[in-house]
């Protein structure tokens, strides 16, 4: 494949700014670490709300998306458009993890909440620091072949 060739998503042509998604991931990382260490399910209720808006409502009402955009503007970063569908799928996974962590902390199931919270922390770290979206990889590996060849 030529290096200048753009890979597009078979689900949607919608694009998002990678800078914003990485900033959001950094905020999620900090919030998840705080919530897990303090066993505070309110943090994960907030993350549940925010992941819901980004998964189902194009980020309308997402405080983290708004903050991410403001940081990009303040730092005058050039936009880096990427496919939105894998990011929405990853946000959906974050939503599931946030709900699970909130419930586990509420039920005082400390070890399971640390394990599930640790997975969310690792995923947010990989996205924000390394630029590797595990949810996007799962989306591309499992869902895209099925979408291209629905049998």
Q: What is the average pLDDT value for the chain, to the nearest integer?
A: 90
For the cut 80, the answer to whether the pLDDT of residue 149 exceeds it is no
Residue range 126-146, pLDDT digits in tens: 999 999 999 888 887 877 666
What pLDDT was estimated at residue 146? Answer: 66
pTM of the predicted structure, to 2 decimals: 0.87
With bands split at pLDDT 50, 70 and 90, how would you rate the model's confidence at 12? low
pLDDT tens-place string over residues 84-132: 989 999 999 999 999 999 999 999 999 999 999 999 999 999 999 999 9
pLDDT bin (cut points 50, 70, 90) of residue 3 is: very low
Quote the crossing angle between the two packed helices 63-75 and 41-56, to the nearest 10°: 80
What is the reported pLDDT for 139? 85
Q: Is the pLDDT of residue 14 over 90?
A: no
């Amino acid at each position: 494949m030529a290096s200048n060739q753009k890979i597009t998503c078979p689900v949607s042509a919608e694009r998002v700014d990678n800078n914003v998604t990485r900033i959001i991931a950094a905020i999620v990382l900090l919030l998840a670490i705080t919530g897990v260490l303090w066993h505070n399910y309110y943090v994960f209720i907030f993350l549940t709300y925010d992941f819901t808006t980004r998964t189902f409502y194009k980020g309308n009402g997402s405080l983290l998306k708004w903050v991410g955009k403001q940081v990009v503007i303040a730092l005058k970063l050039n936009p880096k458009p990427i496919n939105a569908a894998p990011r929405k799928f990853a946000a959906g996974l974050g939503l599931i993890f946030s709900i699970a962590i909130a419930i586990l902390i509420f039920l005082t199931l400390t070890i399971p909440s640390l394990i599930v919270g640790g997975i969310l922390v690792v995923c947010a770290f990989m996205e924000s620091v390394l630029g590797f979206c595990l949810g996007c990889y799962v989306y591309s590996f499992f869902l895209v072949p099925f979408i291209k060849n629905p049998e």
